[in-house]
Structure 1
Amino acid sequence: MSNPSILVLGAGGIGGYFGGRLAGSGADVTFLVRDGRRKILSEQGLRIESPFGDAQLAVKTVVASEVAPIYDAVILTCKAYDLEAAVAAIAPGLAPDGYVLPFLNGIAHIDVLNQRFGQHRVLGGTAKIQATLTPSGAIRQFNDWRTLTFGEQSGEMTERVKTLAALFAAAKGVEAFAVTDIVQRMWEKLVHLSTAATMTCLMRANVGEIVRTPNGRELFLDQLQCGAAIAAANGHTPSDDFMRLWKETFSQADSQYATSMLRDIERGGRTEVDHILGFMLDRASEAKIAHRTLLLAYTHIKAFEQRCAAGRLPAQADTGESH
């Protein structure tokens, strides 16, 4: 599989950035998009605005009705609440030996994909990037986050993982790591993300704003310990280095770090609350781990959804998409 055929679902901030960087390096990439996005891409090309160099690329596209089972790899970067529709869209595109590489927040989607395609055809992955699709149709990257981490659920270092790593290594503006412990890393990211989302959404503030309150740091570190206990109960105790890093991060009084879930709330949009906080809440209950702050945050966001459904919350401008 020296030059695998890759299908990327969508051409938004995350899929468009990483897929575009692959295409720019000569990889065989096709974007599965809707008619409107296809028109923009055909007229303007795929445009990337980035600290690592701007790009304007002529790219291959297909719409759902044109998808054929010819793709060796399908890269999935949708929001968790769009997973069902995304699975239906990509299923016709997988070649007989093709596989799916998802870069979604959390870990709940892995069970869904395993059930649909079989565990041997699903890799694990995490993405760290802050990028958005601008009104003009360009993809704008906001900072130097550009990291993908991926691997086999089994922990094997297979040829397809090595091939994919080599393709990303040749791409401009991408850091890619092929690993043998991706499930552990996904759990660790979920601990970090669920902690950050719990606190920033519950308090409607970024990390620094919370830490500067009298008890904010203490609450943050308590929630980090709660997340770590949940992961440990599921066989994935976070490493000492991981805990040290995030204890420091969640103690920084000058930090401006916020979560995409908070930005979703601030613009009155849908959130991944069930996929992230709801998942952790269920695991905490199963393991009989105290989870009051997590429960408060989950209820807070579910109440926000009720207000949105009633049209009682004005939408605000989004500031980007990040993982």
Structure 2
Amino acid sequence: MKILVVGAGAVGGYFGAHLARAGLNVDFLVRPARAESLRERGLVVRDVDGRSHAVPVSALTADQLEAGYDLILVTVKSYGFDAALKDLTPAVGPRTVVLPFLNGMRHIDLLVDRFGAERVYGGVAMVMTRLGAEGEIVEIGTMGELIFGPVGESPVLALEDVRAALDTGTYQATAVTDIRQQLWNKWVFLATLGACTCLMRAPIGRVNSAPGGQEFTSGMFEEAIAVATASGFPPDQEARERANALVATTTAATTTSLYWDLTHGNPVEAEHVIGDLVARGRELGVPTPLFSLAYTHLCVYEAGRD
């Protein structure tokens, strides 16, 4: 199977390196400077014990891309998705499946509109990595799992074939038939945790330990659940309990990549993770005053960056 990984950052670089080391036919679609670095140094992964491994990889830029891929993994940040979609389109053939690992649902809607549901999968990436100063992938925890499945009833590439390609045995590869529900489950959790920690500029445990903190975080969580429910994808009891265990903690120093980017002066996924949830709530008549406040907060931050 011929695989294209769009992006070589914390998610794409980590899982793409595993695929390359497993001997799969993998290309990386990246910007020119990143392509030059990958060709010279390889894709460097530093594990939780501090050991670094350089994996030789094939790096392409958009002008070098041709059709013929079976599977395209999209791993860019949401604010880079529109540009990535334009770049990857020439690689999509009649039997190609596009599998994005982004948060939220906006990207799924855009891909289905562009390529049709039969050529789109949905994916959830569970990994604890960051992109280092020299472009290396840095593990900050041992979590590694890909959850994926088709969004349409008749995918051009069978689920078992995708699972076989992605299951390297070095991380967990989970094939599901309810990927839209899985995407909503993660979105509800991630948006809540991200909005709470960004708005309060603190890890979730510190937020919940402050006066009114638990009322605030539970209110945010219920808003997200209400939007998901009105959209037809209410989190099941297990997903709610798992998410609430962390959202309500008073001890964990847990944050999100949204918080990390905000506190380090980076661009943030405000529109995709928070803004789209607010917009869907508005369309469905679901009030989201706390999420609306968090979205305004992030937009003010982005305006200051500009």
Counterpart amino acid of residue 247 in structure 1: N
Asked if structure 1 preserves the Cα contact closer than 8 Å seen for 2:73 and 2:100, the reply is: yes
Helix, strand or coil: the match of 1:96? coil
How many residues are aligned here? 305
Q: 1:83 aligns with which of 77, 81, 85?
A: 81
- Map of 1:204-219 to 2, 5 A cutoff? 204-219=201-216
Residue 165 of structure 1 aligns with which residue? Answer: 163
User: How far off is 1:215 after superposition?
Assistant: 1.3
- Partners of 1:308 and 1:51 lie apart in 2 by 32
Q: Which amino acid aligns with 1:165?
A: R
- Equivalent residue runs for 1:165-184 within 5 Å: 165-172=163-170, 174-184=171-181
Aligned-pair distance for 1:161? 2.0
**Letter of the structure 1 residue corresponding to residue 200 of structure 2:** M
Q: What is the aligned counterpart of 1:273 among 256, 270, 275?
A: 270
Q: Report the 3-state secondary structure (helix = DSSP H, G, I; strand = E; otherwise coil) of the residue aligned with 1:114.
A: helix
Deviations 1:81-117 (A, max 9, x none): 1111101111111233111000011111111111111
Q: Aligned ranges for residues 30-49 of structure 1 at < 5 Å?
A: 30-49=27-46
Q: In the aligned structure 2, how far is the partner of 1:213 from the partner of 1:176? A: 39
TM-score scaled to structure 2, two decimals?
0.94
> 2:240, 2:48 → 1: CA distance?
30
Cα deviation, residue 208, structure 1: 0.7
Partner Cα distance (1:222, 1:265) in 2: 22
1:154 is the counterpart of 2:152 = yes
Structure 1: which 5+ residue stretches go unaligned? 310-323
Distance 1:305 1:49 in 2: 31
The aligned runs of 1:160-309 (5 Å cut-off) are: 160-172=158-170, 174-309=171-306
Counterpart Cα distance in 2 of 1:133 and 1:244: 31
What secondary structure is seen at the aligned counterpart in 2 of 1:177?
strand
What secondary structure sits across from 1:61 in the alignment?
strand
Give the CA deviation at 1:132.
Answer: 2.1
Other-structure match for 2:121 = 123
1:63 aligns with 2:64: no
Distance 1:122 1:157 in 2: 7
Find runs of 4+ consecutive structure 1 residues off by over 4 angstroms: 155-159
Amino acid paired to 1:263: W
> Corresponding residue for 1:72?
70
Q: Give, in whole Å, the separation in 2 of the partners of 1:94 and 1:284.
A: 33
State the identity %.
34
Output the CA distance in 2 between the equivalents of 1:159 and 1:296: 42
Measured after TM superposition, the shift of residue 235 of structure 1 is: 0.5
Q: Is the 8 A contact 2:4 2:28 kept in 1?
A: yes
Q: Which amino acid aligns with 1:34?
A: R
Query: Contact 2:206 / 2:250 at 8 angstroms: preserved in 1?
Result: yes
Give the drift of 1:304.
1.6
Does structure 2 retain, via aligned residues, the 8 Å contact 1:155–1:180? no
Instruction: Determine the C-alpha separation between the residues in 1 that align with 2:244 and 2:270.
Output: 23
Aligned-pair RMSD on alpha carbons? 1.8
Give SS of 1:264's match.
Answer: helix
Deviation string, structure 1 residues 209-263 (Cα, Å, up to 9, x no partner):
1011121112111211111111010111110111111221112111111111112
